[in-house]
Chain A
């Protein structure tokens, strides 16, 4: 008979896991909707559930387009949707995946410090660091890619041990099929090897081999997947072909206060101390890997090569892992003094300090994220479009509302937030904004004809954004007001203006 011994640490870890999951679900489950970009994931999962394949050839997005992407995350969502309603799965799966990050951080920190207390504190920090709650309303692919990346880094460090090489290869493949963020890991590996070389430390042969394999596989796979996008956008591919007016809001400037608020002051201080300790006092190959990882995240943020919140997410988890190293150093130092009982107080103090310093940014993040879902009035208008318009109709909405239009009304949009592979996106984005603000009918009609638009969806959000209550140019000759509630829907009567 096999007996499984459950240790005290495992129970605490399980409790942290449940606490993190519970907290996330507490905020997510009562919400009726998702953030605007989440509706694409819902459509993809729905399509996979129905047909078994993702929507690579999407007839609705940009009024019809082909776009290839790594589909694993959507398959996971679709898989869960067989057990529960899709919209419920879309709330539970990302929360569950983010909660597993706690386990990844615990394992890494334990491997790094050989200290269970430090590892548990790090796990707790990683579950409640404010920035991790930024994606509450989203169905974020990072919820899967982030734990995968950190599990990969963990197996990478234990590559010498039996079975870990195989797990590493499996994780690499899963990660590649999930998201392109594997590149951050790859660059971190390179920096890690360079640092080890500079410090004249011996490189682990298996680590080098795995990194080499990852290097070639990642580049090959992504080249295969995004070849056309590379060709079309050139180096702008890095910025996902985001229209210039939007670019600054995606890739924001990094500010010191912003970092502190997102990462937490305690993790930042402890992480920086660990870096100092590793470079100048002791040597730790494992810690060097996370220093490289944090360094790359910071550099990518600095040079705006990565969206701010994603960059901060990576930076914070790495700093938390490094924090474990500092906590262990502190605990070991205390245990060597005449007052070893002080270590328990220090642990408590650290946790309290973390809570105190994180509570305000935590509440702010949660509050901001929860209000991001589209208003019910807008969804009602889109449902009206679904029930009262022909199937091939093209609906104009803001680019931010594109996914919502295709998901709820099942009609073609003019643009959504998936900008890759779209030619002249700046012009299209500009035209869409113009169509909401123009006063001159002739120009509006020309644009509406150009994009073959049938309906204009003036949502409550658009009204707020453009500060209007109706379209200026929408007179009775060319437009029919077919839906009027809080949101408005116009039908374009295809008139020609000389």
Chain B
């Protein structure tokens, strides 16, 4: 009897112990996830805070200004069919409408902070959930988030108003919904709707998402129907839109192979970090040799990796995927039985410092990016001037349009226009022309009224020497200086002399 009583107590104690061990494990898992998310939040907000401290506008130069400007235009008139500044046909983009929605409730400044930050954090959470659903250990999935926090593409996408950030978020959400849905009609409808939104936002993103869904279904041995069915309505709507409306389906983001487009260390816009690529290769070799069952998945990743050399959208997706392989490599290096302990410590320290290096490089790049207060002020002064087309560098186009409300001859969307090559060649030539009689035909051809010169242009186009167009505007009577402060110059073209200087 006494023994029986003892046994029961032992069993009870064991059960309690196991329960508390499980609870402890659960708690530590949660702690790790929270830690990873905290790091992501910290990194993303650090860029914004540092820009604020430097008294710079919140958003780094680029697409963010285009998206914000259009959202503001749509807020005033939700059914525009023409970009009022660029004077080009406007295809409705769901991302702009999301921003309009937010602008109805919040100030533009707050929208600039909250939107990317929230999208980034939610994307990270969904990515984490997806990884665990795909069989990645909880701990490794959390570590992947930490690696994600230092990957250049992720940092860039979620510290500004970038379309591909939104596309990535939508994709992850769709994949997650499709995987967890078990013949639920509501999730099917929701994922179909989201797929349509995604297709309208980015057709390339839509196709990549479908491809990912198919691969995941095959890897998880699910029926491919699960992925195909929700896509049908969106494809039908897309075809209908293409046939009966102004919507033109375009696959964007393709470019030729160039290291400068791929590696962030060489200045790629949405590129890979060199160390993360190296770790990815190491992790890939490890996982390839370890896991016989998931070779199809590994092969697909490899193919996508190759595609990502030629497509920016694929690179955005792969920036997430490679983190899993990086974690596999780092874990292997950490757990491996090393013969030389000093080399182990050294190698791990090097990996850690390389990750920190990657992080600081990207943050530094974004914090130092234009515009600064001076550019903002100069463009606000341009806003007060009469209407006219502005000639500046292609990179500056969106900022010019955002602040001045005037059309820039070239911006990062210009490549969509039919005569882009012609305009590009002409402007490249114009920048190097020091004589008025040679420059005037081009100026008049594109009805250029203003020339906006930034310090970066002076260095990149004229190597700091007063040459070409810079020389011309300074020495010709046909150009009137409208603004000059801290190396920023604004000139107005007035054929016939300096009347009204």
Contacts and interface: CB of A to CB of B under 8 A. Distances in A.
Contacts of B342: 165, 169
B132 interface: no
B20 to A, nearest CB: 40
Contact of A220 (B266, B350, B463, B467): B350
Interface stretch (A37-45, A204-212, A270-278, A366-374): A204-212
B260 A234 contact: yes
7 contacts: A165-B340, A206-B340, A210-B340, A213-B343, A220-B350, A223-B265, A234-B259
Interface in A206-248: 206, 209-210, 212-213, 215-217, 219-220, 223-224, 227, 230-231, 234-235
Nearest to B337: A205
B463 A213 contact: no
* Nearest 6 pairs of A and B residues by beta carbon: A216-B350, A234-B260, A234-B266, A235-B259, A450-B465, A209-B343
A423 interface: yes
Contacts of A284: none
A201 interface: no
Interface residues of A, number: 24
A68 to B, nearest CB: 15
A216 B354 contact: yes
Given A165-B343, A223-B357, A234-B259, A216 B266 contact: no
Main secondary structure on chain A at its contact with chain B?
Answer: helix
Contact of B350 (A217, A231, A424, A427): A217
A218 to B, nearest CB: 10
Nearest to A424: B463
Nearest to B463: A424
Contacts of B267: 231, 234
Nearest to B464: A423
Nearest to B261: A234
Nearest to A226: B265
Contacts of B467: 450
Interface in B282-338: 333, 338
Contact of B459 (A205, A224, A423): A423
B500 interface: no
A224 B354 CA distance: 9
B211 interface: no
A129 to B, nearest CB: 34
A138 B347 CA distance: 36
Interface string B244-270: 000000000000000110000111000
B266 A231 contact: yes
A165 B338 CA distance: 13
B156 to A, nearest CB: 15
B282 to A, nearest CB: 9
B478 interface: no
Contacts of A224: 357
Contacts of A169: 342-343, 346
B442 interface: no
Interface string B346-368: 11001101100100010000000
Interface string A413-433: 000000000011001000000
B422 interface: no
B274 interface: yes
A427 B463 contact: yes
A216 B265 CA distance: 16
A450 B265 CA distance: 32
A209 B259 contact: no
B77 interface: no
B275 interface: yes
Interface string B144-182: 000000000000000000000000000000000000000
A93 to B, nearest CB: 30
B344 interface: yes
A216 B347 contact: yes
A213 B361 CA distance: 22
B369 to A, nearest CB: 13
A381 B337 CA distance: 65
Contacts of A216: 278, 347, 350-351, 354
Contact of A223 (B274, B347, B351): B274
Contacts of B265: 223, 227, 230-231
